[in-house]
Structure 1
Amino acid sequence: MRFSVLGPVEVRSADGEVVHVGGPRPRAVLVMLLLTPGRVVGLDRLIAGQYGDDPPAEAANAVQSQVSRLRRALGGLVEFSGGGYRIAVEPDDVDSHVFERLALDGRRLLAAGRVADAAAVLREALGLWRGPALADLPHGDARVARLEEVRLAATEDLVEAEIASSDGSPVARLRSLVERHPLRERFREQLVRALHADGRTAEALAEFEDARRFLADELGADPTPGLAAAHLAVLRAEEPAPVVRRVPPAQFTSFVGRDDEVARLAAERARLITVSGPGGTGKTRLAVEFAGRDACFVDLSAVDAADAVPLAVLAALGLRASGFRPGPTDPVERLVAALDHDLLLVLDNCEHVVAAVAALVRTLLARCPRLRVLATSREPLGLTGETLLPLEPLAAATPDSPAVRLFADRAAAVRPGFRVDHDTADAVVAVCSALDGLPLAIELAAARLRQFTVAEIAGRLVGHGRFRLLSRGDRTAAERHRTLHAVVAWSWDLLDERERVLARRFSVFAGGASLAAVEEVCGDEGEVLADLVDRSLVTLVDGRYRMFHTIRLFCAQRLAEAGEEEELRRRHAAHYLALAQRADPRLRGADQLTWLARLSAEHDNLMAALRWADRETAMRLVAALAAYWWLSGRRGDVGEVAAALLAGDLPPGLEEEYVSCVVHASPRPAAEHWDRARRLVESREMRYPFGLALWGMVAGPPDDPAADAGKLLGDDPWNAALSRFSAALLAVLGGRVADGERGMREALDGFRALGERWGTAQALDWLAQIAGWRGEWSSAHKRWAAALELYEQLGATEECAELRCHRGRCLVRQGDLDAAQAEFTRAAALFARPAAEAVLGLGEVARLRGDLKAAGDLLGQAYAEEGGAEWMTARALTALGRLAELSGDHVEAVRRHDEALAVVRTPVLAAELAGVVEGRAGAALSDGSGERAALLLGVAVALRGTAKAGDPDVARVAAGARELTGAEVFAEAYARGAAMSRDEAVAVAGV
């Protein structure tokens, strides 16, 4: 059968007959299954697609009925598997998947210069669309936007092919496209070039001016380099040239001389390709041009340790490297989960971490069958199945060779109007030949035209002894390093003294710098920095100044030779400490996302400052950045540094900084550090409120909260909101739910008034949990949905995972085990490492379904991974006790329940103690003591401050106790326990 979803869903048999699949809801289910043909779609996903976030109680049965109708219509193609359904068809049977494949093929053909073939393939792809994508989904799908984006990109590529092949004039169509998509600059660029190709120069110039004004008015932005280049071509009356591939935004120069290599990459089907060759040959640029917008690009040049390679890939994918949980993390497993789809992963600059890259690539390719990898390195990765693309220097022997064309292009940028003609051809060929056709060296040489003629450059280059190595032809690794070093040294020699001072000082920055940072750290007011930009030693990209890595290494050596390294590093660390301290309060307000983005842009500099700062400055950085490490998911990056800072005596005045290092240190510090940190927290006021919040989450509540909570925080609005939240949380955990709920609402109002997302989501999460205890299911799920949206805005993956666990426990009490399992499964995938809370939830679902073998494995894993949190230990032990009861091992059950009681026998954790007491009630029932079981169930209510609606374990024990004692005795014992004071309940719980 053939399936169409690019428009109203349509099914046709092998002979072309239309197959009717029923009404709107069966069609919607069919579309959701066809989006991932051959793969299981969970029942919860099907329900959400049908009914949104608030499905009716009978939603699962309704979906099952719709699936049955599909099965009858499709002859059994829809199959049940585990917790969901799959449709047994191939991707090529579904038009959306065929469309994406054809769009990619068309782009590759276009990149290879086969414009006629590309146009034919792209027309076939776009011809599959019959209307809006996935039109039958009542609640939409994120993939609609992705399909529409691929459709627009394919349209752009088709227009590009038509312009390149002169296959009619696309001007009329482009005008319509620009009108419908005014912010899509590639259409505007293509319209300018198409008008120019038609000889309508005045209209082309007018169109550019309209585009420029529109972008300035709407976005406050200038035209992109591609649109500006099209305008310049019109002004110069140049013959319009076809553009094979659009230059990515980070690239600000044209791509010259590598058409054959791009074509080979486009034709190559191997899953691992390594572009190899000497430094300076353009490996990175080739990879960027080939990959375009269809790949994930990872620059490893700043990675200085083998274990940082997976973290760099995670960062490029936009994923949190680790969560805020003690213990080891496994970024490779996160990558395996994230890369299970069609993707080209580009790993750039691998040579200095080649062994680590090889190990990571082997794992990813083995476990992610739809992944392709394109690596650039000075040496192969050395893996079986690796396809090498050796990148040779550009040919440079003739005036029309690629190297000469590259020189001419770059020279024209610094000396407008420069051309290689009869007077300059020999000198340009001499320069390019002396540089062995190395693109980087050629670009640096061309930049010198600002001060010298081509003949002068050729004379300096050929006559200078230090450049003789460039023409030897020896391509060994050490030789390649010396060759590139000589190119940079030659450029260095042409700088005046002020430029040299700034160039060597600029090398202190890792990952670039803002103008303000350069002025403060290096002592430059911008004038000399602009000269370095002109001379291509520094680049300006998106408002940040950057230095090529090789040039930076060279300049760093000059900095050390000048004796300035220690002073510049001190200034650098002081600047970024001041930035961190300025950012800290702004991370607790409405500007939270803006400042997170600003600190993220400076992440490399912040880590560099941590590494080379003195101990006092480094400790201050860890504390000032506590909110940033947490909210951006980068706590794992600082773990080793924080652990190292704990060694030695505590510097006076840095008590709070010491506490922050204890919280962030990895591996988890010794108990003596935690004891010392707790004493410090309980004896002083904290300057960094977020640090206090993190301490509470990691170390748990104080032994005497009433005595300490009032003096820990200052009186700014966020502190006040956090103080109310902390007091409310302690009330909830202590069994005073009504008081806690009132305080939590006040905290929510405080966080919302500030526009602060994290605190707002925390309060919403706890209010949802309280509503769930009372059986107010709709209210609970609405609050969780609002909290989840806020966490997702922050990129707080681990909080999203914890919230899904909370929602999963509520769904268990609602009796929807399928939905609960789906939530726990999602949570397990989001956690940075196997997390006890999610695994425990899956184990409880298995136990309630009667699968004792799976439950035992999962609960045992949860207990082994609980990480030291008292509440988690108690829950895991209680679950193991209940499992032992079901298995008939009464002795083991009692032992587990006693162990759980020993962990949380404290009024501070009365709510958790209530769960343990409910477990002990089950053990009492197994002993035949129905009255004791009833009493303990009542005690649990007294401890928690409320009954827990729908709990299946409580319901099971209550039913058994009534049967043993009779309803009257049960009610009397239960009421007696529920009426106890908290202290009485704690005492009874321990008997």
Structure 2
Amino acid sequence: MRELPTGTVTLVFTDIAGSTRLLEQLGDDYVEALAQHRSLLRAIVARHGGIEVDTQGDAFFIAFAKASAALAAAVETQAALAADGLIRVRIGIHTGEPTRTEEGYVGIDVNRAARIAAAGHGGQTLLSESTRQLVGDADLRDLGEHRLKDVGELRLYQVGPESFPPLESLGQANVPLPPTPLVGRKRELADLLRLLASERTRLVTVVGPGGIGKTRLALETAAEVASAFDDGASFVDLSVVRDPKVVEPTIVAALGLRGELVDHLRERELLLVLDNLEQVVGVAPDLARLLEACPRLAILATSREPLHVRAEVEYPLRPLAEAPAVELFRQRARAIEPEFDATYDRLTELCERLERIPLAIELAAARVRVLSPDELLARLDRRLPLLTAGARDAPARQRTLRATIEWSYELLDDRERRLFSQLAVFAGGWSFDAAEEVCEADLDMLQSLVDKNLVRADEGRFRMLETIREYALERFAESGEAERVRSRHADHYVRLALRAERELTGADQHVWLERLATDYENLRATFEWYAGTPGNETNGLRLAAALVVFWFNRSLYRDGLHWLERMLETTEADATAARAGALWGAGFLWSLVGDGERAAPRLEDGLALARKLGDGAIVARSLEVIGLLAFFKNESRRARELLEESVEAARSAGDQWGLADALGTLGSIYPLQGEFDRAETVGAEALAI
């Protein structure tokens, strides 16, 4: 029997994230990559006194007598693999008193360690409360309580401050928390819960006009039903997406995944909530194929029109019934004016004029501070005679909602109207600083729009409901200021991206990754503006080059390639540092999706232009990726020469991020050529950086 530790033992499980994708990417070379991975882990484990209990496929089971040694081994493993960049592992650590057997260990503590590892993501190390108590002042992040399959709830901690997607724990409702209670949708909620409980129902589409309450009902449904799905429920807002091809990258980004969506969802039992699908209904066949490939996936969609696929169950959402409509008005009015009071009959008449549409009711209730119910009725009579002022080919409810928004707009003063229309330039929300810089907004005026329910505020961010934004966009187009404001909007987000480019290679990387992710829809809108505005193509190229590290860290490879290639194609005569950076970025991302044939010419062009411009950082980064491509083609000598040249170029340019990356990559190649001392030297320098 091996000399396995007994008593209190710290157990470690590791496995490669995305191993199926990696196997498809590397083909026959996967066997060698896996062998190198095993050799690396065994060397690290031995240095820290660990014992290999079991190895199956790409997974390791290791035991340590000391929790601190287990943690040190995990940290070194993640650092070494991050430097190489090819393989990412999830690591789970738990301390307990497992039962020792002839083969190794058994018991609940073994199961706990394995489930902790399974809850993580590539590059992430998780540990339990029992381990945390034994590792002193380690750099840990408390992730709270999580329910894991077969072992119940455990408090988990992450090693290091990096940002990762939500853990793969059971029954988590990863949906926004509505700020107000749901009013009057008990029957509809019960209907949706019943539909989603049926194994025969895989796709439910809540259909109705804007403002009818589709999103609110979907959120309540997801929160109620999440615990019935092993992997819970996740919400994806598609309101700012216009291209069906962008839907999958948006879902991937919203779920915090890496790689292909189907690979992550194939074995998961998840409710996916897709909100505002009407402008991308062309994605419906893709969703049908996703459901076929992922047998435990269910989709709850909201849309203004059905998707028309065979798996779909259409659920039309009607206006509120009379009593709930009155109750909604009363609740919203008393939130504005606590002393508000009116008879049931008067509020019934008012809600009927508003056709009992929730958004229309909320907008009207926002005026009770200055207008009585009788005055509200009178204004609606004048503003909406017979409710037919809208387009005759639009549904009546949409005409009513449009008229209600228009009525609210007419009650704004001139400065508020101007700001309201200009704020439509933002996609997916904005910060106050952005509104101040782009629209010259002041806080009082913005707060006034929030108070009047035309803008929503949420933890330092602002947004419009998409229905309201559509109306604001019409006013914006008529204002004569659209071009100027769009230009200011684009300039603001280019400055943000250029600053982020510098910060993303520093100590605050995780902060800037989150900041860019929060404003990613605005960045996409900026790309569209530059691509469609003659004379601004070079600015689009600067933006694309600045976002390469962001796309890499968030695994948005395809989205990044879409914009990089689009900007490169429109600026072929450009010979700037931005083009050199974009060429490197395109080559880098093509290599990450396994397309070396497209990567190579982009990298060679970028290298040539960077040499011509004297841009040492891009020279170094291009050489590194070209070196990696040579390595994967078994050109180890050429790969080594290119990587050594990359190291020197990065060192000369003062590019610490590029230097650390190139050193780490070189350190993974030296051992294959018997240069173990050199590997240790460059690895130590990379870790020091």
Q: TM-score, normalised by structure 1?
A: 0.47
Distance 1:637 1:144, change over 3 A: closer
Partner letter of residue 610 of structure 2? V
Q: How does 1:688-767 map to 2 (within 5 A)?
A: 689=617, 691-698=618-625, 733-734=639-640, 760=660, 763-767=663-667
Aligned to 1:301: 239
Whole-angstrom distance in 2 between the partners of 1:662 and 1:466: 59
Q: Name the counterpart of 2:45.
A: 54
- Aligned match of 1:796: none
* Structure 1 unaligned spans of 5+: 1-22, 33-43, 68-131, 147-180, 185-244, 322-330, 704-728, 791-991
The alpha-carbon distance between structure 1 residues 259 and 435, as it changes in their structure 2 partners (threshold 3 A), is same
1:488 Cα deviation (Å)?
1.5
Tell whether 2:611 aligns with 1:682: yes
Deviations 1:808-867 (A, max 9, x none): xxxxxxxxxxxxxxxxxxxxxxxxxxxxxxxxxxxxxxxxxxxxxxxxxxxxxxxxxxxx
Q: Which residue number corresponds to residue 455 of structure 1?
A: 374
Corresponding residue of 2:550 = 628
Other structure's SS at 1:298 match: strand
Query: Does the 8 A contact of 2:326 with 2:347 survive in 1?
Result: yes
Q: Determine if the alignment matches structure 1 residue 264 to structure 2 residue 161.
A: no
Separation (CA, whole Å) in 1 of partners of 2:599 and 2:53: 51
Secondary structure of the residue aligned to 2:305 is coil
Q: Distance in 2 between matches of 1:759 and 1:560?
A: 48
Q: Does 1:444 align with 2:363?
A: yes
Change (3 A) 1:512 1:317: same
Of 534, 540, 558 in structure 1, the residue corresponding to residue 475 of structure 2 is 558
1:282 aligns with 2:213: yes
The question of whether the paired residues in 2 share the 8 Å contact of 1:428 and 1:454 is answered with yes
Q: How big is the shift at 1:657?
A: 1.9
Return closer, same or farther for 1:673/1:517 CA change in 2, 3 Å cut-off: same
Partners of 2:578 and 2:647 lie apart in 1 by: 33
| Count of residues in Structure 1 that have an aligned counterpart in Structure 2 | 533
Counterparts of 1:467 and 1:760, CA distance in 2: 70
Paired position in structure 2 for 1:544: 461
Contact 2:258 2:556 in 1 (8 A): yes
Task: State which of 135, 141, 164 in structure 1 corresponds to 2:109.
Answer: 135
2:433 counterpart of 1:504: no
Aligned to 1:576: 493
Output aligned runs, 1:243-392, within 5 Å: 249-268=176-195, 269=198, 270-292=201-223, 294-320=232-258, 331=260, 334-356=261-283, 358-392=284-318
Q: How many Å apart are 1:308 and its aligned residue?
A: 1.0
Instruction: Return the letter of the residue paired with 2:365.
Output: A
Q: Deviations over 1:186-219 (max 9, x none)?
A: xxxxxxxxxxxxxxxxxxxxxxxxxxxxxxxxxx
- Equivalent pair of 2:627/2:640 in contact (CA under 8 Å): no
The Cα shift of 1:635 comes to 4.3
- Native 8 Å contact 1:576 1:606 kept in 2: yes
Paired with 1:736 and 1:377, the residues of 2 have a C-alpha distance of 52
Contact 2:627 2:638 in 1 (8 A): no
Secondary structure of residue in 1 paired with 2:300? strand
Counterpart of 2:334 in structure 1 is 412
For 2:43 and 2:219, how far apart are their aligned partners in 1?
40
State percent identity of aligned pairs.
Answer: 35
Tell me how far 1:274 sits from its aligned partner.
Answer: 1.6
Q: Deviations over 1:338-368 (max 9, x none)?
A: 3421111111111221231x21221121111
Aligned AA for 1:386? Answer: E
Distance 1:675 1:764 in 2: 22
Match of 2:561 in 1: 639
Q: CA deviation at 1:140?
A: 5.1
* Separation in 1, partners of 2:55, 2:476: 72
Instruction: Write the deviation string for residues 32-72 of structure 1: whole angstroms up to 9, x where unpaired.
Output: 9xxxxxxxxxxx9xx99x99973889855999xxx9xxxxx
Match of 1:468 in 2: 387
Choose between structure 1 and 2: higher strand proportion.
Answer: 2
Cα distance in 1, alignment partners of residues 190 and 600 from structure 2: 60
Change (3 A) 1:466 1:700: farther
- Confirm or deny: 8 A CA contact 1:283 1:391 kept in the other structure: yes
- Structure 1 residues 152-191: aligned runs within 5 Å: none
Residue 696 of structure 1 and its aligned partner are, at CA, apart by: 3.1
Question: What is the match of residue 495 of structure 1?
Answer: 412
Residue by residue over 1:223-243, the C-alpha shift from the partner in whole angstroms, topping out at 9 and shown as x without a partner, is: xxxxxxxxxxxxxxxxxxxxx
Structure 1 equivalent of residue 100 of structure 2? none
Q: Describe the SS at the equivalent of 1:683.
A: helix
Output the CA distance in 1 between the equivalents of 2:569 and 2:463.
Answer: 35
SS at match of 1:450: coil
Pairwise CA distance, 1:643:
3.1
Matched position secondary structure for 1:388: strand
Q: What amino acid is the match of 2:278?
A: E
8 Å contact 1:730–1:740 — kept in the other structure? no
Q: Give how far 1:518 is off.
A: 0.4
Distance (whole Å) between structure 2 residues aligned to residue 271 and residue 24 of structure 1? 49
Aligned pairs (5 A) from 1:647-662: 647=569, 655-662=576-583
**Residues 934-974 of structure 1: CA deviation (Å, up to 9, x unaligned):** xxxxxxxxxxxxxxxxxxxxxxxxxxxxxxxxxxxxxxxxx
Indicate the residue corresponding to 2:156 in structure 1. Answer: none
Name the residue aligned to 1:424.
Answer: 343
Please state whether the residue corresponding to 2:366 is helix, strand or coil: helix
Tell whether 2:688 aligns with 1:771: no
What is the CA distance between 1:384 and its match in structure 2?
A: 2.2
Note if contact 2:620-2:646 (Cα within 8 Å) is conserved in structure 1. no
1:733–1:317: structure 2 CA closer, same or farther, 3 Å change rule?
same
State the AA in 2 paired with 1:443: E
Give distance in 2, aligned partners of 1:616 and 1:261.
51
The secondary structure found in structure 2 opposite 1:387 is strand
Moved more, 376-385 or 596-605: 376-385
Q: Report the Cα offset of residue 533 of structure 1.
A: 0.7
Indicate the residue corresponding to 2:88 in structure 1.
none
Q: Does structure 2 retain, via aligned residues, the 8 Å contact 1:247–1:254?
A: no
User: Using a 3 Å threshold, how does the CA distance of structure 1 residues 770 and 247 change in structure 2: closer, same or farther?
Assistant: closer
* Deviation sequence 1:733-771 (CA, Å, 0-9, x none): 45699x899979x97xx99xx7x6x86455334324323
CA distance in 1, matches of 2:555, 2:629: 26
| Contact kept in structure 2, 1:274 and 1:388, CA below 8 Å | yes
Extract unaligned runs of 5+ from structure 2.
15-33, 62-105, 121-141, 146-171, 227-231, 531-535, 591-596
- 1:517 aligned onto 2:442: no
User: Hey, what does 2:594 align to over in structure 1?
Assistant: none
How far apart are residue 540 of structure 1 and its match?
A: 1.0
Q: How far did residue 469 of structure 1 move?
A: 3.5
Residues 566/284 of structure 1: CA separation in 2 closer, same or farther (3 Å cut): same
Aligned to 2:72: none
Greater share of residues in helix: 1
Mapping of residues 97-246 of structure 1, within 5 Å = 134-137=108-111, 139=113, 141-142=115-116
Amino acid at match of 1:662: L
State the TM-score, normalizing by the size of structure 2: 0.66
State whether residues 276 and 380 of structure 1, in contact with CA within 8 Å, keep that contact through their aligned partners in structure 2. Answer: yes
Identify the residue that residue 114 of structure 1 maps to in structure 2: none
Alpha-carbon distance in structure 1 between the residues aligned to 2:542 and 2:661: 28
1:900 is matched with none
CA deviation string 1:531-575 (max 9, x = no partner): 001111111112111111111111111111111111111111111
Q: Deviations over 1:587-644 (max 9, x none)?
A: 1210111111111111111111111122232122223333323333334324344334
Would you say the 8 A contact 1:517–1:575 is kept in 2? yes
- Following superposition, the deviation at residue 183 of structure 1 comes to 8.2
Residues of 2 paired with 1:671 and 1:143: CA distance? Answer: 36
- Provide the C-alpha distance between the structure 1 equivalents of 2:325 and 2:108, rounded to a whole number of angstroms: 49
